[in-house]
Structure 1
């Protein structure tokens, strides 16, 4: 992988509330360790880091502002960062402050996206980044998600959802889906 000095790391919703049993079974127990490795590499290289937090508006959500679960997990809570975005929808591009404007003002064209949930806010942010013309890379092992129910009793495991995200993003041309080691080797 070849990254320029302005390649930004977007760390999506790495919040304590995702440790709540409310979410159910998760995949990838190594996600936080891989996120920490990416944050450290980006900090060491003095590349831009963007932290994103989901401020849920749903009553009872572990991610609602004012609840302990809204806080960032220790793995990123004290991470150096250049921008802090808050949002209440899936895409970091619909947060405050304006992520796209911030990236464009700095001439940033490459994004590495990691965080929680693989098939929700991470995938949505990566898709939008690809649609907006950014070169998006998603280290899938620096994300995790949870089992999810759909229509008609359909249920997919977290592993199945992560695989679907990989296919959607890479197969759909939105992002290159790789491993954390691939990114760090660049």
Structure 2
């Protein structure tokens, strides 16, 4: 069986625009760039490997109605920071209108299982919203789930910092049976001697 890497809602409004992005957007995008580089390199060279296969990269893009928020289809805030590569059949784009990617795409779980995928590896924005909801949707659909710590984040909320919320989300998902690992562990698992090294880590 195999895994799919979910890149959740890393969009301009949340990750790039200095007026609206989450406080730790730079950390998430730096991690995301490295994760994708190593994952893609691994997918190109994993034939014959004894390591678990990575079968697909799923880029998730949230969209809203104009009266509900800025992530309106076709707008600059809605655009993705990372996109699937043209002509690469193992990379796909999924749109959603709810926090849970699986709820917005009722056929997705069956499609992934038909492709031999039984595990979801997730990172992105926002931790307690679309990231947690998609992970819960995956668990409910019968997938194993791994959340990449340090590669997801959100906004501060009152007395809670974004990092407080990140940890709370990780704790809740672990209680549901998900694995939580530092994103560099996944990246180094996929790195097959390419000499790739992670960016400097911000203190958490």
TM-superposed CA distance for 1:29, in Å, is 3.2
Give 1:89's match in structure 2, choosing from 98, 106, 113: 98
* TM, length-normalised to structure 1: 0.83
Moved over 6 A (4+): none
- Residue equivalent to 1:38: 35
Let me know the Cα RMSD of the aligned residues: 2.2
**Which structure has the highest helix share of the two?**
1
- Would the aligned equivalents of 2:84 and 2:91 in 1 still touch at CA under 8 Å? no
Equivalent positions of 1:32-181 (< 5 A) are 32-46=29-43, 47=54, 48-57=56-65, 59=67, 61-73=69-81, 76-77=82-83, 79=85, 82-96=91-105, 98-149=107-158, 155-170=159-174, 172-181=175-184
- Number of aligned residue pairs: give it: 174
The 5 Å alignment of 1:14-29 reads 14-18=10-14, 19-20=16-17, 23=20, 26-27=23-24, 29=26
Give yes or no for the alignment of 1:183 onto 2:186: yes
1:90–1:125 contact (8 Å) kept in structure 2: yes
User: CA 1:58–1:164 in structure 2 vs 1: closer, same or farther (change >3 Å)?
Assistant: farther
List alignment gaps of at least 5 residues for structure 1: 150-154
In structure 2, the gaps of 5 or more residues are 44-53, 190-204
Larger Rg computed on CA atoms: 2
User: Residues 57 and 88 of structure 1 are in contact (CA less than 8 Å); yes or no, is this contact kept in structure 2?
Assistant: no
